[in-house]
Amino acid sequence: MTGAFTVVEPVMGTVASITVIGERTPRVERAIVACVARLRDDERVFSTYRDDSDISRLRDEGLELGDVDPRVAEVAAYCRDLRERSGGRFDAHWRGWFDPTGYVKGWSTDAATRAFDELLADGEVEAVGVNVGGDMRLRTAPTSDHGWRIGIAHPTHEGELLATVEVVDGAVATSGTSERGAHLVDPRTGVHLAGPVSATVVADDLTTADAWATVAAIAGIDDVDWMPVAPVASGIVWEHGRTRRFAGRVEVSAFHDVVAG
Amino acid sequence: MKKIVYAFMATVTGLVLLFSYRTSTAPESTSALADAPSSGVATVPKTTPTPSASASSGSPSSGSTSSGSTSAQTSSSGLTDGTFTGQAANTRFGPVQVQITVSGGAITDVQVPQYPSESGRDQQINSRALPVLVKETVQAQSAEVDMVSGATYTSTGYRTSLQSALDQARA
């Protein structure tokens, strides 16, 4: 049985919890440092709370995408695509300027987790999970059968779980109103979601999971029209005590409603 | 009610078709969300033996099987009673198959009877591939989870979060 340890670092206004299944060697330590450094550097570029971030300068100084860090153009391209595919349920331009908050964290976590690529490939660590503020990328070495058991926090019952999900190699993201009050805005109307609403999505990577969890939360429990086009594995939408679940791009909880009715 | 049943009929068709034809788009982390009444433990749904369920559940390499039904009693809902088995869909982890049971015009059971079982790793993945909706919420401690996903917390909110408790236990 190999060891497991967790390193906690403040980043992006929240906390990153990095759990390593493996020994704490100098090489592993270096990978953790590189992972956190990438998250912080992406924060420097994308933070809307910093006047000197590339995102803020793009907004305030009338710069073009070509004038700022190339990562901004990369994320902007993803966001345009997501806006189209989600039917406007996600829109980084809804305020009239480019604000990819709600997208960057997942994207950045995927990029940061690549610091462990070599360690996983040669089996020096068995598995690595990077949880940034409740959204996580989970990696498992090809030689390992480690599975991650993920709890999905109940949106209104603090300290309790709504569901659990097992992931070997993938990502889990949750968007909703529960933790910080109503901070989700429907870009189509500019209206803050009253909630409580919570959407959890499981996908191959966190860029995808985070983006579509946001879409699912914005859409709310009565709108699942986005589901057939979402490149995700499965998920749960919860609103006012009702749940809907889906897998393989179709709803599964509907069956149980039929049984119950 | 009738309208609802038709809607779900469409969903069932969609489910069976999607499981049948989704190949290249199969997600890496193939998983589904399933109920586990009053328990936080993932369980594979029980298998209902029916004539049409003879779809070689033990030999994933046998390929697809066509759908069939055990009887032809059509109810007012438009759903024919019987057990219907979709074609086995090839996923990254092997073939996956969906089976529904209709009784009295209503869907009474949905199962995924076939799991890949060729390699140990596939077995591992699939025994875990059904995420569990915890109907009766349980404490994180008793659920023995590795991490907790939830709406984004602030640095302050983290201190009282379940994730924080887990991290402290493993620091």
Average pLDDT over residues B98-111: 66
B interface test, pick of A131, A156, A165 with most B CB neighbours within 10 Å: A165
Residues B59 and B47 in one domain: yes
* Confidence (pLDDT) at B68: 41
Whether the CB of A241 is below 8 Å from some CB of chain B: the reply is no
Residues B127 and B161 in one domain: no
Q: What is the DSSP letter of B148?
A: E
**Whole-number Cα distances in Å, A121 to A1, A62, A82, A116:** 19, 44, 31, 9
- Nearest residue on chain B to A106, alpha-carbon basis: B152
Q: Which structural domain range is residue B143 located in?
A: 139-171
Tokens 């990077």 identify what position?
A: A130
Structure-token pair, residue B4: 């609802």
* Confidence (pLDDT) at B131: 54
Q: Between B161 and A134, name the one with better pLDDT.
A: A134
Tokens 């049409």 identify what position?
A: B52
Q: What is the distance in angstroms between the Cα of B136 and the nearest Cα belonging to chain A?
A: 8
Q: Between A15 and A225, name the one with better pLDDT.
A: A15
Q: Do A234 and B5 touch (CB under 8 A)?
A: no
| Facing A6 at nearest CB: one of B106, B110, B171 | B171
Residues B121 and B147 in one domain: no
* Residues 123-142, chain A, touching B (beta carbon < 8 A): 129, 131, 133-136, 138
**Domain total of chain B:** 2
Whether the CB of B142 is below 8 Å from some CB of chain A: the reply is no
Residues B73 and B52 in one domain: yes
Could you give the ipTM of this predicted complex?
0.90
Residues B44 and B118 in one domain: yes
Q: What is the DSSP letter of A95?
A: T
Phi, psi for A64 (deg, rounded to 5) = -100, 165
Whether the CB of A260 is below 8 Å from some CB of chain B: the reply is no
What CA–CA distance (Å, rounded) separates A64 from A176?
32
* Confidence (pLDDT) at B7: 42
The strand ranges marked E within A37-119 are none
How are beta strands B34-35 and B82-85 bridged, if at all? Answer: unpaired
Residues B69 and B99 in one domain: yes
Q: Residue-wise over B76-106: b if at least 16 C-beta within 10 A, else e?
A: ebebebbbbbbbbbbbebbbbbbbbbbbebb
> Minimal CA–CA distance to A152: which of A167, A165, A142, A140?
A165
Region of poorest pLDDT, from A37-41, A51-55, A233-237: A233-237
pLDDT category of residue A249 using cuts at 50, 70 and 90: low
CB of A7 within 8 A of CB of B145?
Answer: no
Residues B32 and B73 in one domain: yes
Chain B residues with CB under 8 Å of A19 CB are 146-147, 167, 170
CATH code of the domain covering residue A137: 3.10.520.10
**Side chain identity, residue B12:** V
Region of poorest pLDDT, from A3-7, A154-158, A161-165, B43-47: B43-47
* Confidence (pLDDT) at A199: 94
Whether the CB of A154 is below 8 Å from some CB of chain B: the reply is yes
Tokens 């034809």 identify what position?
A: B21
Cα B47 off chain centre by: 13
| Facing A202 at nearest CB: one of B29, B35, B132 | B29
Torsion of the alpha carbons at B112, B118, B120 and B125, rounded to the nearest 10: -30
CB of B79 within 8 A of CB of B95?
Answer: no
pLDDT at position B122 over 50: no
Query: What is the reported pTM?
Result: 0.70
Percent share of chain B, pLDDT over 90:
2
CB of A140 within 8 A of CB of A117?
Answer: no
CB of A236 within 8 A of CB of A200?
Answer: yes
* Confidence (pLDDT) at B138: 47
Write down the mean pLDDT value for chain A: 88
pLDDT category of residue B111 using cuts at 50, 70 and 90: low
Residues B78 and B161 in one domain: no
DSSP three-state, residue A187: coil
Percent share of chain B, pLDDT over 70:
22
Q: Do B109 and A259 touch (CB under 8 A)?
A: yes
pLDDT category of residue A179 using cuts at 50, 70 and 90: low
**Side chain identity, residue A45:** V
pLDDT digits (tens, 9 = 90+) for A77-94: 999 999 999 999 998 888
Residues B145 and B128 in one domain: no
**Domain total of chain A:** 1
Burial class (CB in 10 A: 0-12, 13-18, 19+), B120: exposed
Indicate the length of chain B as a whole number: 171
* Confidence (pLDDT) at A62: 84
Residues B103 and B52 in one domain: yes
Residues B99 and B159 in one domain: no
Residues B110 and B60 in one domain: yes
